[in-house]
Amino acid sequence: MVVSYDLDKIAKKLNLDIKDISRAFKKRIIREYEYKDTKILLFKKEFKHLEKGTVIFLNDNLDVVRGYPKTYRALVLYPTLKKHFLDKIVVEEKLNGYNIRVVYINNDFYALTRGGYICPFTTKKVKKYLDLSILEDNPNYMLCGEMIGLNNPYTPKYYEEAQKEDENLGFYIFDIRERETNKSLPVFERLKLCENYRLPHVKPLAIVDKEEAHIKVREIIKELDKKKREGVVLKDPNMDVVPLKYTTHYTQYDDLREGFKFFFDMGLDFLFSRVVREGFMSYEFKESLEERKERAKDIGEAIILPMVETIERVANGERVTEDIELIFDSEEDFYEYLEFLRKVKILIKIKKIERVKNKLKVLIGKVYNRTNDKVLAYLNGTLWGE
């Protein structure tokens, strides 16, 4: 299979030695994926200088779309921001959805997930809601943004600003990059372009001096926390150093609450990283014992309450699922998306299908077999070895 590609050309295009790319194939770091007639290779893991989620289109050009880099986190704002940044810091809101890169290749638009898959659902939604002529004018760009809203299949959270006629869904650009080099446009260039092309985008909340950033960001975070928003991404105006993220107490709480609904499917790192963030935040915010206990109560409840609810539901004979409502413009779109979920091995149950004004409103239930099976087994007397 591997030999059927022109490995030499692919290696050259990716700046890899032929030996390295062969090894990446052998170790299953590179996978094949097909969407309609479009064939791509994608990197399942970081490899050499290439980010996880990097994609190469198997067309004549061998178009490359680099993966979106991991964003590191400040556990404490001070001195992390002061040390990391150069001078000014642009504070942008971090939206809680899923990361998407939109590209224009072979006269067509594609929306790639963080992992590098072409998502049919997202591809159709961005084509529907966005004027993407910016990419026709600049096919070397990728639009990097967050798909948010209650009616998305991966991170369903309601956002007031994402309300459309039929669904709660919106795409907000937070970065424009050259897709082959992964070089970001400076923040203000990106903002100007988004305005010129009337593209929805994340707007700066503030521009602050790095010396006092920790004070300003803390104030912003406290405001965002009250509004139950996720947090901030902090950027150098010229993108000369990588962005950093910092999230609200609400996000840590909400992540745990969601994670513990399916606690045997949750990664242990997921749990640990949320509580550690809370520890450093409580310390840095110089909380009183009373405030600290209030935080602890939230974290405790985010862990215990959804877990017990799941146990109760399984004990009552239910198989618990994460239920998400999605809107499709046609049956064909729906079936295409189901086919996609099958390919990327996301297990779902279809719980309800309604036809609403020529559209399909579908309730899908994500299946978490591990949690269901384990809870049932322990409730039936299986011994626990930990």
| Residue ranges that bind a copy of itself, judged by CB under 8 A | 70, 72-76, 79-80, 82-84, 244, 263, 268-269, 271-273, 275-276, 278-280, 282-283, 287, 292-293, 295-301, 303-305, 307-308, 311-312, 315, 378-386
**2/305 with CB nearer a copy of itself:** 305
Q: Is residue 300 a contact partner of residue 256, using CB atoms and an 8 Å limit?
A: no
Q: Provide, rounded to whole angstroms, the least separation between the CB of residue 313 and a copy of itself.
A: 10
Distance, CA of 37 to CA of 19 (rounded, Å):
29
CA dihedral of residues 115, 197, 177, 141 (deg, nearest 10): 80
Residue 71's closest CA among 169, 17, 155, 144? 144
**63/278 with CB nearer a copy of itself:** 278
Q: Provide, rounded to whole angstroms, the least separation between the CB of residue 381 and a copy of itself.
A: 4
**193/232 with CB nearer a copy of itself:** 232
C-beta atoms surrounding 386 within 10 Å: 2
**289/356 with CB nearer a copy of itself:** 289
**311/363 with CB nearer a copy of itself:** 311
**117/368 with CB nearer a copy of itself:** 368
Q: Provide, rounded to whole angstroms, the least separation between the CB of residue 253 and a copy of itself.
A: 10
Place of tokens 């198989």: 319
Q: Provide, rounded to whole angstroms, the least separation between the CB of residue 258 and a copy of itself.
A: 15
The CA-based angle 154-159-164, given to 5 degrees, is 90
**196/316 with CB nearer a copy of itself:** 316
Q: Provide, rounded to whole angstroms, the least separation between the CB of residue 370 and a copy of itself.
A: 13
Q: Provide, rounded to whole angstroms, the least separation between the CB of residue 302 and a copy of itself.
A: 8
Q: Provide, rounded to whole angstroms, the least separation between the CB of residue 76 and a copy of itself.
A: 6
Query: What's the first-to-final CA gap in the chain, in angstroms?
Result: 44
Q: Provide, rounded to whole angstroms, the least separation between the CB of residue 315 and a copy of itself.
A: 7
**131/209 with CB nearer a copy of itself:** 209
**84/101 with CB nearer a copy of itself:** 84
Cα separations (Å) of 43 from 55, 68, 88, 165, 169? 7, 12, 34, 37, 28
Cα separations (Å) of 115 from 70, 212, 286, 342? 12, 36, 38, 15
Q: Provide, rounded to whole angstroms, the least separation between the CB of residue 241 and a copy of itself.
A: 11
Distance, CA of 386 to CA of 383 (rounded, Å):
9
DSSP secondary structure of 76-120: SSTTHHHHH-SSEEEEEEEPSSEEEEEEEETTEEEEEETTS-B-H
Residue 329's closest CA among 354, 353, 361? 361
Tokens for 270, please give them: 């997921």
Q: Is residue 92 a contact partner of residue 232, using CB atoms and an 8 Å limit?
A: yes
